[in-house]
Structure 1
Amino acid sequence: MKPFLLFVFALCMVSCYNAERNCTDFKTGHFYSEIIIDGKPIKSEFNRTDHLQIETYQGKVDSSEVRWINDCEVIFKTINPKNRIERKDIHLKILSTTDSSYTYEYSYVGEDLKQKGTANRAK
């Protein structure tokens, strides 16, 4: 009986764990991010205000409108899309935060394939 009670107690303790998410700390600012696409690291740098994000990615600059769904989820809409892919909005969800970074997942709106990455506050 004791091992069973210990198991139940341990299970309760593990199931109560929630990742820290102070998402409002990352709504605006200057950040850099790295993700892995097709096994290759892709780096970008971006500035985000309440309504706009300007990103530098592989030498090109891209601007998106920012619309927060809640404190931890945001939709990006490319301002001047150049092709069909860029016309698709991107949904980003912050999964966890630290004092200087956040882990996120993102996908095109309406698609199931999600990518994960980490963004760090630029110094």
Structure 2
Amino acid sequence: MPEEVGLSVISTAESGFNYRVTATTEDPRARESDTAPWNLRTDVRFSRVFAMGIGAFLEVRNLLGRDNILTYDNRNIASKAIWEEDENPEGDLKRGFTQEGLPIYDIPRMVNVGLSVDF
């Protein structure tokens, strides 16, 4: 690519978090034996510099729009059972945050467009 044009791609992969299976089993061997789904994210940034140091960029975070699960609603037995049986992290209230206000999902696809001035 010419030096006035830039392209960067960053991909990350994280194994899912471990959690206790307690709401859907009485068997103590199953406790602390399950793992949430993997988190995969790809971010892309394209930039171009024009005359007089003026540049533009397009940045896309979570390019594939994947629902990456950070945690799950574990405030009551019903919510835990929904998570353990269906891997639905939103619980019985179907909300995207925990009772402490923490997000259940990582960021959705986000597109940023901007200008820069280099001097």
TM-score (norm. length: structure 2): 0.25
Q: Which has the higher contact order (CA 8 A, sep 6+)?
A: 2
Output the TM-score relative to the length of structure 1.
0.24
Higher strand share: 1
Bigger radius of gyration? 2
